[in-house]
Structure formats: C-alpha cells, structure tokens
Structure 1
Amino acid sequence: MKSSELLLDAFGRIRETVEATLAGLDRAALARRPSGTGNSIAWLVWHLSRVEDAQVASAAGLDQVWTSQGFAGRFGLPLAERDTGYGHSSSQVDSVQAPPELLLEYYDAVHRQTVAFVQTLTDDALDRVVDKRWDPPVTMGVRLVSTIADCLQHVGQAAYAKGLGPQGSD
C-alpha cells in the first residue's frame, strides 16, 4: 500500500463518519449542546470541516473551499471569513447553525479537494516542509496526519453527542 492510499483511507473514514453522524438529525438536534455547554454537533462538523479545509489548502497551496466555492456566504455565520473555530466562546459555538444537508455538502466539497490533492502525493512529497514556525518544522506528512487526528477526534465527539439525546427530523 502506498502512503497516499493509507492517507486516503483515513480521510475516507472521516467522511463516512460525518455522513453517518448527520443522518436523521434535525436542526434542533444539531444545535443541542451536551450538558448545555459542550460543543454542538453542528459546530463540531463545521469546525472539523474548516480545519481540514484550512490545513490541507495551506499545505497544498490551494484556495480554501469555504471561500472559493461560496460556502462562507451560504452559511452566513456571524464570524470572520477565515475563522475555523479555534478558541470559540460559548456564544460563537451557539452561532454555528446550519441544516445537515449544508454541513454535509460543505464537508463533501472539502473531502473532494483533499482527495484530489492526496492522490497526487508521492512518498517524497510527504517529507516537504510546509510550516517552518515549529521546531522541528512540520512536513506535509505530519500536517496531514495531525489533520486526520484532529478531524477524527471531532467527528467522534459529534457521533457521541448524537447518542446522548433524542433526535428527530424537521
């Protein structure tokens, strides 16, 4: 198995879990915050989508899907266009609301861009330094693995939150 195939499998697992988690949820279930202060499913899926979008686009030298494909305008969130959710306050978490179809459409668009890029990678390309601000500098391989790890954690949190309470459909 090539390294790129392994990465594609990992990113594919994120996509599968996003789809399964969003299935059958209405807007109220998406906005519900575990224990009243936890992150909502809508915020978690939006955030993991923004993280993958921003991290992969930056490392690949691509435009973010969020802006280049008009998702920022379609979501209409009261957040800065480049916001990915890091350090959000409780009110900012509450502000991230969207129907499940739009959340999945955005993640799918991000996933397509990620897949198209990862399919072009060679093993040597994974050693290219993409961020010199860290010690040691971050390589493409490390950036992609850290993105996968972050997104898997958040989609797992979303799936767990789905199981905590009553769901429904609009």
Structure 2
Amino acid sequence: MDVAAEYAEIWQFASQLEGHLTEVEDWDLGAGIYIEFLTLKSSFKDTSNVVEGLESLEERSSACGAFFERLKESQAMWKSKSSIEARAAYSKMADEISLLLLEETKAQALDVSAEMKMFDIVLDAPMPEDVRMCRLQGAVAAFAKLVSEEILV
C-alpha cells in the first residue's frame, strides 16, 4: 500500500470518528492530530483547494506552530502508553510539516527576518535531535545571511 493510500485511509477513519469527538476523551491530542496533520499538509500541497483560514503563509505558519504544540502535549500525555511506532509517526508528521513550511518560505522569497521566524517555529517542532540539528544548520545559514545584509547596508 502506498503512503497516499494510507493517508486516505487514516483520513477516512478519523473523519468518521470526528462526528463523535465530544464522546472521545482528549480528541485533540489523539485522532484530532491526524486530521490536523492531513489538513495542514493539504494546505501546502493543494493550492487550488486551500482550507479556510490557511490561505496565507502567515496563517499556515501559525497553524504549524499550534500543531507542533499539540504534538508535544500529546507526547507528554501518552508518554508511558505510547508505542515506538506512535512516537515515530509523530516525529515523521513534525518533520514533514516543517519541511513543507521551509519549502514554502523559499518559494515565496521572504525577507530574512521572516525566514528566521519560520525557523523558530520549525525548531520548536518535536523531532529527533539529528533532524533538529539539520534544521538548525539552515537557521544558522539564514542568520548569517541576515547579518551579512546588515553589514552591507
């Protein structure tokens, strides 16, 4: 089964459960995270079908920051009960969304200070340290560019 089919299946199951979210304890920190992930992902990938409230990069970056916070809250809540696969899935979701956000910042040619804000959001994502260090290298490069622009002005 390919990844797109797996996402479609997860979306289908989570959407069916969403109608009962008031009956499901901690929905936002459980199945709701998967719906939020898929919604965010589609807001970056499918620009012809933009989700309301996620039209601009600023709105998407704010939603990404909120998503990363929910991921961390969920990890803290489920810590003792969470399987290795669940922790890996959360890390993968955080990494995928952070990559999409960074790709978007490069596509829109933002000024360096806005790019630094995006790195601040991305570096707050719950990811393994090796992945975080890769993102940090990008942030350092953007910071060096900011400093060099200030010196040249």
Same fold (TM over 0.5): no
Higher relative contact order (CA 8 A, sep 6+): 1
**Greater CA radius of gyration, 1 or 2?**
2
Using the size of structure 2 for normalisation, the TM-score is 0.29
Query: Of Structure 1 and Structure 2, which has the larger fraction of its residues in helix?
Result: 2
